C-alpha cells in the first residue's frame, strides 16, 4: 500500500487441489504437467484429456500456456471411495490426495471415471494478448473456453477485500470442492511486475488461510501394546 496507495485488488479462492500447467500450440493441447518441484513436473497430458472441462482445441488457434488447479469435487470423492471400498482397496484420505493419485494413473480410463475438474487462473505472458490485469486475464481465459472460478472478485480497498474474505469463509461449507483460503493479489500486472518477488514468494500476492475445519469424533476402542523399551 505504501508504494501503490491506489492499487486495486483481486481475490480468488485457494483451491485445495493439484497445481497444473497446460500448454497449447496452434490451438491444440500438447502438454499437461504437474508443478513437481517447481522446476520439473510430471507429464500427465494423457490424463488431462480425460477431464471434461479441459478444452482439447481452442477456436482461435492460440499458442499459450496457463496454470490452474485440478481437483476432485466432493460428490466425485464420495463415489470414488465407495468404489474403492467395494473393491477391497483403501479409501482416499481426502479429495486432494485423491486428485493427485488419480492424475498419476497410467490408465486414463480411471481418470475419466473419477470425474475430476479444474479451475484456471494464470495466463503466462499476458502482455502478448493485450491483458493488463489479473481480472482481465480471468475474463480472457473464460472467453477462450477455460473454466474459471465464479467467486473471483475485484475490489478497490483492503477493507473491502477483508469483508469479502469473511463472506467466502462463510460460504466454504456449501461448495462442492475443497478450499483452504483466499489469495489476494494486486490486480494491475504492471504493479505486480514493479513489486516483484522475494527469494520464495511474490510481493504482490498473499494467501489468507482459513482455520482448519474441526469436527467431533467418538473413540470407539483403544488397544495397548508394548514398546521397544518394554513399557
d(C-alpha 160, C-alpha 179), whole Å: 20
Residues comprising the chain, all counted? 231
DSSP secondary structure of 173-203 = GGSSS-EEEEEEEESBHHHHHHH-B-SSSBS
d(C-alpha 102, C-alpha 108), whole Å: 9
Phi and psi dihedrals of 109, rounded to 5?
Answer: -65, -30
d(C-alpha 98, C-alpha 18), whole Å: 10
Note if 14 is an active site residue: yes
Tell me if residue 73 falls in helix, strand or coil.
coil
Residue of 8, 14, 115, 185 with catalytic role: 14
Q: Can you name the residues that pair with 21 across neighbouring β-strands?
A: 33, 67
Q: 101 Cβ partners below 8 Å, 6+ apart? A: 92
Could you tell me if residue 193 is left (phi over 0), alpha (psi between -120 and 50 degrees) or otherwise beta? alpha
Phi and psi dihedrals of 143, rounded to 5?
Answer: -65, -25
Active site residues: 14
Amino acid at each position: 500500500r505504501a508504494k501503490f496507495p491506489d492499487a486495486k485488488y483481486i481475490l480468488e479462492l485457494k483451491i485445495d487441489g493439484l497445481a497444473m500447467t497446460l500448454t497449447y500450440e496452434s490451438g491444440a493441447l500438447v502438454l499437461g504437467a504437474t508443478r513437481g518441484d517447481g522446476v520439473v513436473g510430471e507429464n500427465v497430458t494423457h490424463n488431462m484429456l480425460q477431464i471434461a472441462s479441459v478444452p482439447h482445441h481452442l477456436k482461435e488457434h492460440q499458442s499459450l500456456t496457463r496454470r490452474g488447479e485440478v481437483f476432485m469435487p466432493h460428490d466425485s470423492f464420495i463415489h470414488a471411495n465407495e468404489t474403492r471400498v467395494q473393491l477391497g482397496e483403501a479409501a482416499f484420505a481426502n479429495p486432494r490426495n485423491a486428485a493427485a493419485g488419480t492424475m498419476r494413473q497410467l490408465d486414463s480410463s480411471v481418470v475419466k471415471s473419477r470425474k475430476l475438474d479444474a479451475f484456471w487462473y494464470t495466463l503466462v505472458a499476458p502482455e502478448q494478448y493485450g491483458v493488463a490485469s489479473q481480472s482481465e486475464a480471468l475474463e480472457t481465459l473464460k472467453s477462450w473456453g477455460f473454466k474459471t472460478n465464479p467467486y473471483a472478485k475485484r475490489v478497490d480497498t483492503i477493507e473491502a477485500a477483508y469483508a469479502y474474505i469473511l463472506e467466502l469463509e462463510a460460504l466454504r461449507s456449501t461448495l462442492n470442492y475443497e478450499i483452504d483460503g483466499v489469495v489476494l493479489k494486486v490486480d494491475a500486472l504492471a504493479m505486480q511486475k514493479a513489486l516483484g518477488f522475494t527469494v520464495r514468494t511474490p510481493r504482490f500476492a498473499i494467501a489468507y488461510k482459513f482455520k482448519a475445519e474441526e469436527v467431533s469424533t467418538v473413540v470407539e476402542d483403544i488397544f495397548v501394546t508394548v514398546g521397544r523399551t518394554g513399557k
